């Protein structure tokens, strides 16, 4: 199986503080990798590295064999996108928000694709509504539609259902999983909720204080954890 990302000895420092310190991590093509851990563990920073929004202070990130540097071709960078915890919609209509990725790519608006995604996420009736008037769940579904309409090779999720109700959580997880199965989208989902990782991830990793403590197939991660930190985290102890 080929790797979408390979990280080796990656460190990310903010002034003196080392936020990410990963000796080695592979993200396999077409998998859903769940990353769990307490807040402040460096999970969001890791996603920013994977989305090329930051470059590591040390070490190497490669994306599909190419080193992830500022010189990485734009077309490759555009294969990756993130849905953050806050949907960050533009002060425009719902449909215009979903269209923004296509406009950025200059590929011209593909209204059919936009309509299709709005429909799949139960937003068809809200297409012309101002995005600012939506509920939290609706807004996050718009953010997901906006990400998926450009058919990314890699979808990064940063606590995408952090403060949503079970209905919206279920809907978003369904769409992510079905897009992964249908198109082979590689997904890295950061969550502080281990149950979410268990529901959607093929593999799960635990991150604490910037380090990847343990990465394993989701089933064995939960049923047969190897490291004491993982056991403690899954038991619900406070780890940091």
Partner 1 sequence: METLGRAFGDALQLLWNMDSDLFEIVGLTLQVTLVALAIALVLGIPIGAALGLTKHLPGRAFVVPLIYTGMGLPPVTVGLFTYLFLSNQGPLGSLGWLFTPAGMIVAQTIIAFPLVVGLTMAAVQGVDPDLPIQIRALGATRCQVALTTLVESRIGVTAAVVAAYGSIISEVGAVMLVGGNIEGETRVLTTAIVLETRKGNFALALALGIILLALAFLTNLIFHRLQVRQGGP
Q: Is 99 in the site for partner 1 (CB under 8 A)?
A: no
- In the complex, the smallest distance separating the C-beta of residue 104 from partner 1, rounded to whole angstroms, is 5
When binding is defined by CB under 8 A, the residue of 130, 136, 217, 222 that contacts partner 1 is 130
H-state helical runs in 51-165: 74-77, 94-104, 111-120, 136-148
**59-88 positions binding partner 1, by CB under 8 A:** 74, 77-78, 81-82, 84, 86, 88
Q: Is 150 in the site for partner 1 (CB under 8 A)?
A: yes
- In the complex, the smallest distance separating the C-beta of residue 73 from partner 1, rounded to whole angstroms, is 12
Q: For 89, left (φ over 0), alpha (ψ -120 to 50), or beta?
A: beta
How far from the centroid of its chain's Cα atoms is residue 210's Cα? Answer: 17
The smaller minimum CB distance to partner 1, of residues 138 and 214, is found at 138
Q: Is 153 in the site for partner 1 (CB under 8 A)?
A: no
Exposed, middle or buried by CB within 10 Å (0-12, 13-18, 19+), for 149?
A: buried
- Rounded to whole angstroms, the Cα distance separating 64 from 83 reads 21
- In the complex, the smallest distance separating the C-beta of residue 214 from partner 1, rounded to whole angstroms, is 28
- In the complex, the smallest distance separating the C-beta of residue 84 from partner 1, rounded to whole angstroms, is 6
The smaller minimum CB distance to partner 1, of residues 90 and 111, is found at 90
Q: How many CB atoms sit inside 10 A of residue 112's CB? A: 8
- Rounded to whole angstroms, the Cα distance separating 14 from 57 reads 9
**Best CA proximity match to 135, nearest among 164, 161, 159:** 164
Exposed, middle or buried by CB within 10 Å (0-12, 13-18, 19+), for 224?
A: exposed
When binding is defined by CB under 8 A, the residue of 43, 120, 141, 146 that contacts partner 1 is 146
Q: Is 90 in the site for partner 1 (CB under 8 A)?
A: yes
Residues that bind partner 1 (CB under 8 A): 48, 51, 53, 74, 77-78, 81-82, 84, 86, 88, 90-92, 100-101, 104-105, 130, 132, 146-147, 150, 156
């Amino acid at each position: 199986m080929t790797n979408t990302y390979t990280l080796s000895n990656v460190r990310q420092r903010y002034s003196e503080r080392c936020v990410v310190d990963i000796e080695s991590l592979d993200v396999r093509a077409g998998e859903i990798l769940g990353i769990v851990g307490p807040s402040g563990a460096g999970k969001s920073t890791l996603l920013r590295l994977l989305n090329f929004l930051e470059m590591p202070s040390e070490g190497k990130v490669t994306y599909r064999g190419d080193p992830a540097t500022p010189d990485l071709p734009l077309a490759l960078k555009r294969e990756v996108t993130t849905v953050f915890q806050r949907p960050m919609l533009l002060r425009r209509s719902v449909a215009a928000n979903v269209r923004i990725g296509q406009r950025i790519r200059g590929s011209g608006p593909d209204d059919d694709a936009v309509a299709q995604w709005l429909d799949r996420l139960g937003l068809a009736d809200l297409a012309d509504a101002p995005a600012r008037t939506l509920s939290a769940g609706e807004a996050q579904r718009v953010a997901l539609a906006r990400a998926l309409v450009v058919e990314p090779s890699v979808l990064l999720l940063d606590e995408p259902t952090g403060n949503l109700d079970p209905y919206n959580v279920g809907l978003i997880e369904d769409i992510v999983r079905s897009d992964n199965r249908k198109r082979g989208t590689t997904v890295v989902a950061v969550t502080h909720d281990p149950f979410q990782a268990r529901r959607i991830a093929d593999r799960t990793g635990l991150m604490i204080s910037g380090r990847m403590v343990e990465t394993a197939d989701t089933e064995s991660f939960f049923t047969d954890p190897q490291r004491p930190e993982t056991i403690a985290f899954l038991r619900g102890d406070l780890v940091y």
